[in-house]
Every structure is written in structure tokens, then in C-alpha cells.
């Protein structure tokens, strides 16, 4: 075979790869230089035909200009994607930040129609803003059923804890994205909801057999496929009762036999990021890409060394190790997916930045963000928190570098300060607030005197392992109540923690739960606790929540 | 007078105002919504003739696009300025971040020629990148002589502690800016270096008479004027022995009689921000603007309510309270300043972003940043810090929301972790690390066991008042040495703190000082302490510092 044909083949293969880049323009702005390619590497790879870029970091303005630059560098039409599961504001400053999907699952039990309408608006808001910034592929909805409350990585990212709720809401979200002309992605096939292990850190091993998957995990994927989801992402998950040798991402049994044939999915199948430890601890860069492709995926996401992976797959096709027909099929699916964008009736939303109009966030987006927080707040007690001469506002957060949920002017800090509560923050790099006493675990002498508002930002987030489950918040609550120090409680994020705490919470303590952690959630949660409700008629959100609680 | 003439007059007056905006594109991205105008307000004011914008926040990419948008909204050529005193990277991510000016003052004592060359390169680097991002006016050099080591707001921002050093280096910096075609600003006239009060928080009262000012504070301003500095900024400082009734910003004696007439300055005189408490606690928005203008300034910076201030000054001119001639003079000075930019021989550096070349930071900029850190490090002891099984890396920082100097991958965190030192961070919102024992003030039981690396990021920063002086670091050092816990010491920022600590530091302790706090300073400081110096010949930076120390 001539080297020209080989070079054409390599360019075709390259189209199936999605590499990772920072959303910032400059190399020295990259937050994760180990994972994010340099501009020189990007320009070279895109010039050689690489067909997709996963973007993370940067503001929405930067993202818009970044996408334009990447398109200029590319030989082919690009798939430009991001892990945006909770509104563009979750990842790109300036976009709208929405409560996590699990919030709507709770609403779905009381008002399924309203929850579905909100899930579709959620998808439209995300799709409109993603498209406005230049993205054309959103790596959502999460279709996992969060059956394990201690799941360290899915948790509130899931649209529910039972397959019917997840099916209904994930499909409504997909529908919203689709109406805005953006590709969607159902993940993480065949289901990451039962794991107690984070696949960023290790390979989860799950004991379900195929019948058990059919009865639970596969239901939302079937539903998303029926609704026309554009792509499905494979999880790095080992099911020994189905394929004892290969995690899903490299399992022909799970990808080709189950997803492609039995479930009849005709769209794009994409791997989860191949740089995750679940994969890199087993395979090299080239090996992982070849095995995943041979097992039946179409697109390879974030291989550790893209050049080596492209080369290895090219070789595997040339040698006949992988049939050439697989390449043609994958390329055709990619073309088809891009073609749906071009024929989509949705407008080209890039006009936003071109016209330099004021805001990416439309008034309807802001209203959605507020509605979602309001309709998913749960208020335990309407007695307001009392102003204090010298009170403590004790916040627990996952980390400070960075901390996207807080700033000096964040409501979680500024609102308690207005009524006399000084902020003290507990985070993994901070001075230890714990003492060696299981019934009084919080070292109160390190925090100071006075009534204390406890605000817990805790939800299960990637890369944290089991850290969050180990903090004894139930015992802290009992300690604070025993010492008559607890002025109020706010839980942001995990409904499981909230429910645990409710079991020991004294009925006289003002307390509120929001699934969201962003400033809007802080504002509404604290306002509901700090402002005396003088006229219930005029306080709509409290009324709604008395009703839904 | 017809309303048309009045409207023309108002548009002329508006040209003399500089308002504040976020460097971000979107209203919901503003970090300080109380001070930063909305896009709607900006568009209105610029359309009415407002002549300048002070930008803060945003990355360099965002700033570039922001400046283009603001120019499109403006009726007149705009002055676009920023408080960039330590390289563009100090304010705008993606630019080069340089050690504070005081670093070069220390080098100036041993090698004045090298220090002057570096100060000019410092100005060129700042000017090139500022211009590349769309700015045309840099609010530097600080010409204050930092005669008070406890100065809470100037401190290491000054180019020295004696008037000759400040004169030499500030003028060299100005020269660098000027060569890149960017306007400069000598501040804070007649000198903010002796204050013990931060004028952001209160009005400093200084007892110098005119002869004392002539012998010290005025020398760098005279020198900057002789070097052709484009503008001079007035400090909000009360000198009762010179003008008992008015702080400098509204003092005809200090502005017109001293700066304009006696010092013969013909360029633009601009107020410091009128939103600062030193002014707002005395005057209303309109009053402050009228009094400053009447006293002799040309440009009004950041009035609290721009519309009201413009109206008040227009009225004062119409009524004859302020002579019309003052308006003509100020407008002419503004035109002249802008004209020097247009005829400047420097290239239009905006080509950088237009061409989408890779980096704002050129290799020479990066080299300068490294050179400046290297030539200003002070190493106390060359014995390396020993790796530990279970060591503590204890960092003291000004605050976490935001913390521009640290990230999870910052050298101050990652390098000690590599050799076994776990990070614990002390900051004002953290759990209290102090106990009530003046000889052992640090509550070590809250931090854990093992050898401890102490890293102090402390330098005097605006808005902090006297907070930084009150922490007993000398006693902590003695405590740690007494308990044989101190593995190493790094001071980033204040040379005064470093010198205090040297007085009690045991000669066997590895220790280093850098005037800079940015990642490059962290990298070099810690590398010098953590890497055993096996071959002194190959370790250039240690050799240089043995020499300069």
C-alpha cells in the first residue's frame, strides 16, 4: 500500500478522535497542563484531521473565541464538546448554572409533568447557550440510575434513583438540547449508578448480570435511544457476569452485542475519557484505542497520547487486525451526526457574540435557574434564624483551589454576615476542625463562641473517592444541639446527607435543603431562613415549599 | 444659553471622566457589581462622551475583546487604563506576572545598572502586553517612597525606600512603557509612602511640611516629570501643614500651586479613584468631582455616581463657579496625550490577537519574569529541606476568595507534597490556628505531627488595614525551633517580615525569601530549598544568590 493511501487512512482515522483542550486561549492559562494539549499540538493534530475537541475551563467569552480558533485550525468540520451537565454556568463563567439533575427527580415524585417540562427547559437553556458559545455536542444526559446513595461519582448528577424517573427526565432534557440543534450523549453505558468506586481513580467492578441490567440500568438508555439520542458514552466498568475479561469500553459483548445489536442503537458510540485511571492502569494509549474501536465504539475520547493512539489504530486497520468496514461505519455515523446539525431548523446562535449584545443569559434562562432552585428547596422549619451579636457561620466545602461556588460576595458568606454571623470555612487543606471525641467531634474551641449556622456543601463529586462519607455530620448536629449552639442548618447538594441529618434534627431548628450549590441556591436558601415570613401570601417560594416538602 | 450648547458642554465635560468596568464581557461575571458599571450603563455613558474606562478582572483574551467593544461604543477616542503595577499577569490571566517593584530596589543597592536595565525591561514587557490587549494607559509607576515599613497599602508596590532609588527605577520603568507606546502615570502625588493608613479605608493624615516633601517624596515625581511621564495621579492624603482644609485630590495648593506651577508639570493630572472611603466619607459624588477639577486636576477617576458627577461639573462651569478656561486646558491635555500615542513609533500590537498567534507572553517576557525572580531571591542557608514520611507544609495567605497566587498545582503546594509534606493553609476565613500563649502562639495540635515547612505569603495589600502586622510570626519561628519542628522557611513578599524573622532564625534552618508571590517565585524558592545542590557549578541561581545575598 502506498504511503499516500496510508496517509489518507491516517487522516480518516484521526477524525474519530476527540482530544482535550483548555477553553482558555493561551498555553500558560491551562489549569491541567498534563491533560490539556498545547496550542502547537492542537494545531498540528487538527491539521492532520483530528475530528473533535473536548473543552474545559475558560469563561463563555473565551470559549466562543476558542471554538472559532479551533475551527480555523481544523481540516474537517469539528465536533466541539464539553461535560456540561448542569447548565453552561457549571463549566463556563457567564452561562446559566442550574441545579443538578437529581433535584428534578425529587420534584418528579410529586409533580411529574412539571418536572418533565422543567427538564426540557433545562435542555433548551443548556443547548442554546452551548451553541451560542460555539459548542455542538453536549456530553449529557447522564442516564445512570443512582441506586447507591454512597455513589462517589454519579450521585446528584443522575436524573433519579429509579429507572422510570431517569428515563422520563433524561429524555426530556435530550429533547431540549435537540430543539436547539446540539448533539446529546447518554452516559455512562450500561450504567454507573450502582458503583461505590470512582472510575477516575479505579476500575469499578459490578456484579449485575444481564437480566438485572435489563430490569434497571438499561431502561433509561433504551428510552434515550428511542428518543433519538445522538451518542452513547461507554463507562469504564467491569461486569464479570457479562464479560469477565474486558471493562465495557473494550467489551465487544457489551458494546456490539448489547448496545448496537440488542438495543439497536444506530448513533455514535464514544468511549469515556481514556486517560482515566480505570483504563490507564490496564492498557497503554494505543492498545486502549484499538481495543475500544475493535469492540465497537466509533469515537475515541481523550487518549493519553493522541498521536500514538491514532498511529496504533491506523496500523491495526492496515494489518487487518480490525476490519476496514468498522472505519467506514464509524466515519459514516460521524458524518450523519454532523449532518443533523446542518439541517437542523435551529438558528445559528453565534450571532450573540458577533453582535456584542449584552448577555449570554437571557431573562428566560435566569427565570429557569430561579424557578429550579425555588421549586426544589425543602424547608424544615419556618422560624427565622435570629440575628446575633457574635455568631458563627460555619461552611464545609470540597476545596478552595478553585472554589467555583464561593466568592467574597457569595450569599452563603454575605447574608449571614449581615445579621452578625462571622464566616469560618472548613476544607481539606484547612486547619483541622475535628477532635478525637466521637460524640463531640467538632472542636468548637477552634471556631469561637456564639450561635452557629452550619452550611454543608456536599454532594459527591469526581476525584474525591470516599472522603465525603467519612465526616460525622450527624454527630456534629447532635453535639451542637446538645450544647444549644445550633442556630440553623443548610445542606447544599446531597439529598442523602439531608435525610440523614433530618433524623436527628431538633424540630425547633431553622433548616433548609437545596440540591444546588451555586449563588442562586445560597441566596434563596438563606433568604428563606433569615427573613422573617411576615406575610405568607407575599412569599411565594416558602408557600411552594411548604407544599412540596 | 441654549440647551444644545449645554449638551455640547456636557459631552466635553464627559470626556474628562474615567469610569470603571469589569474586564469580563457579561454583567453576571462582574466581581464587584457595586463598583463596576453594567453594559447598559457603559454603553450609555460612552455614547454621551465619557472618555476613559478603568478595567479590572477578566483574562487577557477577554480584555482584548472587551477593549474592542468599548471602543465601538464610544463617541470619542478612549483612554483605556488598568492598575497594572507588576506585569499584566498581576491583573489579567495569560499575561506575564513580575516580582513587585521593591524587589529591584534591593538589587539596586548592589547593582544599580542591572536594576535599571531590568526596570526598563519591566516597563517594556508591561507596555507590550498592555497594548496587545488593547490598553493605552497604565496607572504606574508608583512613585511613592516607602519610608514606613508598616505601610499597609504601598509597601512592596514602591520602587524603593529612598528617593534616589525610586527616581532611578520608576523613570526607567516609565521609559519602557513609553517605548511601547503606552501612557504612564506617576502616583500617588505628593507621596503615599509614609502612611500607616490605607486610603481605601480612611483618609491618611501626614505631618510633613513642604520642605520635608521636597527632601524626599517630591524627588521621584520631579524625576518622572523630567523623564516625560504622561500623567500624575493625586493621592487622597491630608497634609495639615500644607493645606489643612483639603486632601491633596481637592487641594489647589498641592495640585495647581505645587504640582502644576512649582514642579512645572504640563501633562494630565488625574485623581485617584473617588469611590475610595478617604473621599466618600467627606464629599458627595458631584462635590468631589467639582472640587478636584477646580483644584486643578484634568481627569476624574471612578466617581461614585458618574452621571451625577458629570452633571455637577457641567453646572459648575455654566455657573462660572469653575472658569471655562480650565475645561479647555484639560481637554487640550487629553488630546495631546492621545496624540502622542498616535504618532508613537511603536507598532499596533493588537496583531497578536487578530492573528491568533499562540502566546501573549513572548519568550523574552518569560525570561524576564524568571530573571527577576532569580536575581532577587535571597537564600539564607543552602542545606536542603529533608524529605519526610509525614511532614507539614503550612502556608499563610491573605485570603482564598479569590486566591490568584495558589491553585491545586501551584509549586508552593505540589513541590513540598512530592517530598512528603502535606499542605495546611491558614487564611482569615479558616479555622483558627492560634492559641492563647504568647511564647507558643501556634496551636500545633490542630495541624498535626512531623517536621513543618513554613511558607508566608505576606506583603501589605490594599483593603487589609493593619491585619498583617498583628500575626506573631517571630514568636512562631521561635516556638517551632524550640520544639525542633521547623524544616524550612519561605517568605514571599515583604522584605520587612523577612528581616524580622532573620533576627531569630537558627542558622541551620533552610530558608529563602522572594519578593514575588506568583508561581514562578514559588518554584524557584522551593527548588532552591528542596533540591540538594550536588554540583554548585550547574546550579546557576544558587550561585547568583550566594553572590547577591
The pLDDT of residue A357: 53
Grid cell in block for residue B316? 459648575
Percentage above 70 pLDDT, chain A: 92
The pLDDT of residue B536: 45
CB burial readout A116-149, b (16+ within 10 A) else e: bebbbbbbbbbbbbbbbbbbbbbbbbbbbbbbbe
CB contact under 8 A, B59 and A60: no
Please provide the distance, in angstroms rounded to a whole number, between the alpha carbons at the two ends of chain B.
69
Q: Does the pLDDT of residue B370 top 90, yes or no?
A: yes
Residue among B28, B407, B446 minimizing CB distance to A446: B446
| Mean pLDDT within A435-455 | 96
Number of Cβ within a 10 Å radius of residue A325:
9
Question: B41, B60, B61: which to substitute to probe chain A, counting the most A Cβ within 10 Å?
Answer: B61
| Closest chain B residue by Cα to residue A65 | B61
Q: Does the pLDDT of residue B352 top 70, yes or no?
A: no
- What pLDDT, in 10s, does the model give residues A368-380? 999 999 999 999 8
A65 contacts in B (CB within 8 Å)? Answer: 61, 65
| Mean pLDDT within A306-329 | 97
The pLDDT of residue A345: 45
Instruction: State the Cα–Cα distance between residues A360 and A69, nearest whole angstrom.
Output: 20
Least confident range from B162-166, B273-277, B370-374, B508-512: namely B273-277
Percentage above 70 pLDDT, chain B: 92
CB contact under 8 A, B399 and A408: yes
The sign of the CA dihedral B365, B370, B374, B377 is positive
In sequence order, what are the residues at sequence separation of 6 or more whose Cβ sits closer than 8 angstroms to the Cβ of residue B62?
A: A59, A61, A62, B23, B24, B25
The pLDDT of residue B441: 97
| Mean pLDDT within B214-226 | 98
Assess B36–A contact: CB distance below 8 Å, yes or no: no
| Mean pLDDT within A75-89 | 95
The pLDDT of residue B164: 98
Percentage above 90 pLDDT, chain A: 80
Residue among B26, B40, B431 minimizing CB distance to A424: B431
- Kindly write down the DSSP assignment for every residue of A190-222, as one continuous string: T--TT-SS-TTTS--B----HHHHHHTTHHHHH
Reported as a pLDDT band with limits 50, 70 and 90, residue B539 is: very low
B426 contacts in A (CB within 8 Å)? Answer: 431
The mean predicted confidence, pLDDT, of chain B is 91
Under DSSP, the state recorded for A392 is E
**Cβ atoms B269, B294 nearer than 8 A:** no
> What domains are there in chain A, each with its CATH number?
3-354 (3.20.20.300), 377-548 (3.40.50.10870)
Grid cell in block for residue A278? 480505570
The pLDDT of residue B465: 62
Whether B506 is catalytic is: no
Grid cell in block for residue B39? 453594559
- What pLDDT, in 10s, does the model give residues B421-443? 999 999 999 999 999 999 999 99
Supply the angle between the helices B102-110 and B163-179 in degrees, to the nearest 10.
Answer: 110
**Cβ atoms B511, B381 nearer than 8 A:** yes
Reported as a pLDDT band with limits 50, 70 and 90, residue B395 is: very high
Reported as a pLDDT band with limits 50, 70 and 90, residue B532 is: low
Whether B93 is catalytic is: no
CB burial readout B344-363, b (16+ within 10 A) else e: beeeebeebbeeeeebbbbe
| Mean pLDDT within B280-290 | 91
β-bridge mates for residue A183, sequence order: A137
The pLDDT of residue A145: 98
CB contact under 8 A, B360 and A26: yes
The mean predicted confidence, pLDDT, of chain A is 91
The pLDDT of residue B279: 86
CB burial readout B200-211, b (16+ within 10 A) else e: bbebbebebebe
Grid cell in block for residue A172? 426530556
In sequence order, what are the residues at sequence separation of 6 or more whose Cβ sits closer than 8 angstroms to the Cβ of residue B71?
A: B78, B80, B134
Assess B363–A contact: CB distance below 8 Å, yes or no: no
On the 0-12 / 13-18 / 19+ scale of CB atoms within 10 A, B181 is buried
Instruction: State the Cα–Cα distance between residues B215 and B208, nearest whole angstrom.
Output: 10
CB contact under 8 A, A446 and B432: yes
Count the helices and strands in chain B (H runs, E runs): 20, 14
| Mean pLDDT within A93-110 | 96
Query: Which position has the grid cell 498583617?
Result: B468
Grid cell in block for residue A354? 458577533
- What pLDDT, in 10s, does the model give residues B453-508? 999 999 976 666 665 667 899 999 999 999 999 999 999 999 999 999 999 999 99
| Mean pLDDT within A269-279 | 91
Query: Which position has the grid cell 490598553?
Result: B135
- What pLDDT, in 10s, does the model give residues A134-177? 999 999 999 999 999 988 889 999 999 999 999 999 999 999 99
Position with higher pLDDT, A280 vs B303: B303
A359 contacts in B (CB within 8 Å)? Answer: 26-28, 39
Assess A93–B contact: CB distance below 8 Å, yes or no: yes
The pLDDT of residue B7: 85
Q: Does the pLDDT of residue A547 top 50, yes or no?
A: no
The nearest CA of chain B is from the CA of A94 a distance in Å of: 6
Reported as a pLDDT band with limits 50, 70 and 90, residue B1 is: low
Q: Does the pLDDT of residue A349 top 90, yes or no?
A: no
The pLDDT of residue A159: 98
Grid cell in block for residue B292? 478636584
CB contact under 8 A, A431 and B408: no
CB contact under 8 A, A25 and B94: yes
Assess B433–A contact: CB distance below 8 Å, yes or no: yes
| Mean pLDDT within B192-202 | 84
Assess A59–B contact: CB distance below 8 Å, yes or no: yes
Reported as a pLDDT band with limits 50, 70 and 90, residue A255 is: very high
The nearest CA of chain B is from the CA of A88 a distance in Å of: 13
Reported as a pLDDT band with limits 50, 70 and 90, residue B541 is: very low
B69 contacts in A (CB within 8 Å)? Answer: 356
Q: Which of B12, B272, B294, B298 is catalytic?
A: B272
Q: Which of A174, A192, A200, A380 is catalytic?
A: A200
Amino acid at each position: 500500500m502506498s504511503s499516500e493511501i496510508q496517509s489518507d487512512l491516517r487522516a480518516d482515522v484521526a477524525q474519530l478522535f476527540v482530544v482535550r483542550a483548555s477553553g482558555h486561549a493561551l498555553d500558560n492559562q491551562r489549569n491541567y497542563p498534563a491533560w490539556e494539549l498545547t496550542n502547537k499540538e492542537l494545531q498540528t493534530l487538527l491539521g492532520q484531521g483530528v475530528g473533535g475537541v473536548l473543552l474545559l475551563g475558560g469563561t463563555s467569552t473565551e470559549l466562543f473565541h476558542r471554538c472559532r480558533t479551533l475551527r480555523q485550525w481544523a481540516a474537517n468540520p469539528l465536533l466541539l464538546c464539553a461535560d456540561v451537565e448542569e447548565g453552561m454556568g457549571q463549566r463556563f463563567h457567564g452561562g446559566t448554572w442550574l441545579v443538578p439533575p437529581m433535584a428534578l427527580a425529587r420534584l418528579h415524585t410529586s409533580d411529574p409533568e412539571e418536572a418533565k417540562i422543567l427538564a426540557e427547559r433545562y435542555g433548551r437553556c443548556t443547548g442554546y447557550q452551548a451553541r451560542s458559545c460555539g459548542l455542538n455536542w453536549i456530553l449529557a444526559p447522564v442516564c445512570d440510575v443512582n441506586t447507591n446513595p454512597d455513589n462517589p461519582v454519579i450521585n446528584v448528577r443522575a436524573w433519579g434513583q429509579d429507572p422510570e424517573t431517569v428515563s422520563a427526565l433524561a429524555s426530556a432534557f435530550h429533547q431540549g438540547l435537540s430543539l436547539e440543534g446540539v448533539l446529546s450523549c447518554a452516559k455512562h453505558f450500561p450504567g454507573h449508578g450502582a458503583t461505590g468506586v470512582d472510575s477516575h481513580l479505579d476500575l469499578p467492578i459490578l456484579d449485575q448480570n444481564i437480566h438485572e441490567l435489563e430490569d434497571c440500568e438499561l431502561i433509561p438508555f433504551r428510552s434515550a435511544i428511542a428518543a433519538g439520542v445522538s451518542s452513547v458514552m461507554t463507562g469504564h466498568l467491569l461486569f464479570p457476569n457479562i464479560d469477565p475479561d474486558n471493562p465495557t469500553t473494550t467489551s465487544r459483548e457489551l458494546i456490539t452485542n448489547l448496545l448496537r445489536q440488542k438495543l439497536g442503537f444506530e448513533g455514535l458510540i464514544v468511549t469515556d475519557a481514556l486517560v482515566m485511571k480505570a483504563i490507564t492502569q490496564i492498557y497503554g494509549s494505543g492498545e486502549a484505542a484499538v481495543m475500544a474501536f475493535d469492540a465497537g465504539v466509533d469515537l475515541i475520547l481523550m487518549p493519553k497520547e493522541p498521536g500514538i493512539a491514532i498511529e496504533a489504530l491506523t496500523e491495526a486497520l492496515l494489518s487487518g487486525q480490525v476490519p476496514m468496514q468498522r472505519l467506514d461505519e464509524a466515519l459514516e455515523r460521524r458524518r450523519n451526526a454532523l449532518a443533523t446539525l446542518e439541517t437542523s431548523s435551529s438558528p445559528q446562535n453565534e450571532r450573540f457574540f458577533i453582535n456584542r449584545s449584552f448577555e449570554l443569559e437571557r431573562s428566560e434562562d435566569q427565570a429557569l435557574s430561579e424557578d429550579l432552585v425555588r421549586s426544589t428547596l425543602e424547608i424544615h422549619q419556618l422560624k427565622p434564624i435570629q440575628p446575633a451579636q457574635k455568631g458563627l457561620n460555619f461552611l464545609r466545602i470540597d476545596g478552595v483551589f478553585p472554589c467555583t461556588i464561593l466568592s467574597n460576595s457569595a450569599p452563603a458568606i454575605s447574608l449571614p454576615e449581615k445579621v452578625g454571623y462571622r464566616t469560618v470555612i472548613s476544607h481539606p487543606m484547612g486547619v483541622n476542625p475535628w477532635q478525637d471525641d466521637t460524640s463531640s467531634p467538632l472542636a468548637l474551641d477552634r471556631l469561637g463562641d456564639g450561635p452557629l449556622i452550619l452550611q454543608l456543601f456536599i454532594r459527591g463529586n469526581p476525584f474525591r473517592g470516599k472522603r465525603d462519607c467519612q465526616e460525622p455530620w450527624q454527630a456534629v448536629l447532635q453535639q451542637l444541639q446538645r450544647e444549644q449552639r445550633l442556630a440553623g442548618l443548610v445542606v447544599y447538594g446531597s439529598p442523602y446527607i439531608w435525610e440523614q441529618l433530618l433524623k436527628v434534627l431538633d424540630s425547633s431548628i431553622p433548616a433548609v435543603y437545596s440540591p444546588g450549590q451555586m449563588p442562586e441556591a445560597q441566596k434563596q436558601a438563606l433568604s428563606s431562613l433569615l427573613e422573617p415570613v411576615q406575610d405568607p401570601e407575599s412569599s411565594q417560594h416558602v408557600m411552594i415549599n411548604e407544599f412540596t416538602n
